[in-house]
Chains A and B, each alone.
Chain A
């Protein structure tokens, strides 16, 4: 397993090189110029040229990319054009906030999603099943900017339970975590239901039943465990997605996370911020995927993680 992890981590290097190159070219191809955000509404062409030169934007694109790669090689992500703060420091500031939100959302969505999915599958075609299906479909269909505002209205303004916005302790996490958890919960529930129903018809379940095992034991050991593989994939994708920031949720609830930071960087064409966030996001995705691969192995030992098998 160690060899497998080492190999996957080594693969990160060419992957990041490719990602940085593509992102660099794409951001440069976008219309818009960061210099116009820096100079305000009335500035002379000389100042604009001077600032562009300072940013290195007057050089050819290959030289600009080479300059950026040498910066990366020195362990730096550069400074924001706007705030002049180190991008690495900003990411380190904001990432723990995003991580808290992602973990909070997962704590809410995963157990509840699996439980609802199981319940739905075990009571297939009953009223409970239809009710759960209805609820999960509505959670999936409602956009977060709407559900977030409705939750804020109810929990903050009407019930006065939690603050509507800000970055802070658990009180501030409740609304954004619930908002993020709803679609996740729905997906997990639906995938669990489908997985359980698929496994339910397997011969080994029939064998287990024939052996005289209790229904609870069959469900816990033989059905759930085997049905969890696709659920782990969904959890991994959702979690990695949240770690890259939930732009709308973070904006609505004024949460100082990676998503808002990335979005502001894109809007202002703050290239060092965009690049820094993409690099962090890619790394996070790869790491989460490695963890998920290990989880597959734990849940289903048939999945081999030896490097030579890959």
Chain B
């Protein structure tokens, strides 16, 4: 047992089915085409095009207010878009209702503020989706949930309530909650921005582990280390546009655009 250390155990290979990235074929898993969105007068997404292949990890980086979070949230339609199309595993996002709920179940989402269900225990948080959405048996769901909590290193916290956990533990529980749905793709909306510095790594380690196992991930983050370690692609967004798409190494050492260079010079000199 490694739980006592509190950190995630990445050396161990989890059961094969614990995380099942359901990559169906070679076609791209997420396709964003000509997407536009306004908040009133503000044009937050300007003709966004983005393709994410199965197993690919894409890091979205850029100054605040640049549209990163909005893009991330629009992929499971927490933000409606004005025009363009977003397809997940070949299916276009439905407008509302049951169909949309079903699609969202296949798209995991991890929030900046964790958003664990405050009135439910950690274990209940993780089993809720499988039981209520997937109609999976309670015992089976709990078994899977415990495996996932074990993986993220908080199995010993399963019966506590979210407020009793540290930020890092809460975020790892939130990742387990998303994984319990066996999503095809995971969205991370600044998953470490609300954490105390010493808790950032325990969350990033879990995410790096996921990336290694082939989970398709779209990650909005400022963590350069994670981007270099785990991502295949870096997307630089500013003023509602994708300014640059590049490999992490190229991007951080030799960015093509002035806007990206300017941004990097501001965050890397400190």
Q: Do chains A and B interact in one complex? A: no
Q: Give me the interface of B with A, judged by CB distance under 8 Å.
A: none
Q: Give me the interface of A with B, judged by CB distance under 8 Å.
A: none
